[in-house]
């Protein structure tokens, strides 16, 4: 029995999520887009997909920090598009501060979006995957799901938690044709990193290009950012038959960061 490859990618209006959606669509996987942008903005992105790949994805606006909103979104997806057989939990936010100065409300929001949302989408997507006997869950963690950096308490806690959650999901579903894996990017060329680079340049009184080099060399021997499309290609591989025995993994794509 063939399974419809239909992928929900959260946070897919920019950065890594958009790159994953692009790679999927280019390789014949149906895509469901998600973001917090307006419906008009989401539809503009969907129109580009139609022009480039011949498919017009549905776009769902949802604040995934709210479990009730996630439930409503997943219900609408099931009714309007169909049950996703591929789930990519990519949406995330970042904030940096020392632990003693970290705002409690910001901690709660980072945990909600970067970790708890993946639990809610997964628990709601799994029944259809189990019924079909096939599914792929790909959680975009981070190198900070494997190692820590100062001033990133909430982000590291969420991303470490995502790795643990993925491993438990993998153990529970391995005999049902479902895999669950984490991708753990290092420095990646996304809008999220621009703010960090701008701050780094200001703090060190240097140019943007020098800041980029300094930021990379502080952690990883590979001298360039990871391209978001490379993360998309890794996600595509995890959806292939060649990866059907790969489950419960946390795969770094980090320029050697975690090789230290």
β-strands 250-253, 58-61: how paired?
unpaired
User: Strand 135-140 and strand 250-253: pairing?
Assistant: unpaired
Cα–Cα distance for residue pair 250/163, rounded to 1 Å: 7
Longest pairwise C-alpha distance within the chain: 60
Q: In the annotation, is 155 catalytic?
A: yes
The residues, ordered by sequence, that sit 6+ positions from 105 with a Cβ below 8 Å of its Cβ are none
**Catalytic member of 53, 59, 155, 222:** 155
Distance CA 156, CA 177 (A): 30
Place of tokens 């920019």: 14
Active site residues: 155
């Amino acid at each position: 029995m063939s399974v419809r490859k239909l992928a929900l990618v959260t946070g897919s209006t920019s950065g890594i999520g958009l790159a994953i959606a692009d790679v999927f669509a280019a390789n014949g996987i149906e895509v469901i887009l998600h973001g917090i942008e307006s419906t008009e903005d989401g539809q503009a992105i969907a129109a580009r997909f139609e022009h480039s790949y011949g498919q017009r994805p549905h776009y769902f606006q949802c604040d995934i920090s709210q479990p009730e909103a996630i439930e409503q979104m997943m219900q609408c997806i099931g009714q309007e598009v169909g049950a996703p057989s591929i789930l990519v939990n990519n949406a995330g936010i970042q904030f940096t501060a020392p632990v003693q100065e970290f705002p409690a409300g910001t901690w709660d929001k980072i945990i909600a979006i970067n970790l708890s949302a993946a639990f809610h989408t997964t628990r709601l997507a799994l029944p259809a995957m189990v019924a079909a006997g096939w599914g792929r869950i790909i959680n975009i963690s981070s190198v900070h799901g494997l190692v820590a950096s100062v001033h990133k308490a909430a982000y590291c806690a969420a991303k470490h938690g995502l790795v643990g959650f993925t491993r438990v999901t993998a153990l529970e579903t391995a005999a049902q044709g479902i895999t669950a894996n984490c991708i753990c990017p290092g420095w990646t060329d996304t809008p999220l990193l621009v703010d960090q680079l701008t701050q780094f340049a200001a703090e060190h009184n240097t140019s943007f290009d020098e800041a980029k080099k300094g930021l990379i060399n502080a952690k990883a021997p590979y001298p360039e950012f990871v391209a978001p499309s490379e993360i998309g290609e890794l996600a595509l591989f995890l959806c292939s038959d060649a990866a059907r025995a790969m489950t419960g993994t946390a795969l770094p794509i980090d320029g050697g960061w975690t090789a230290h």
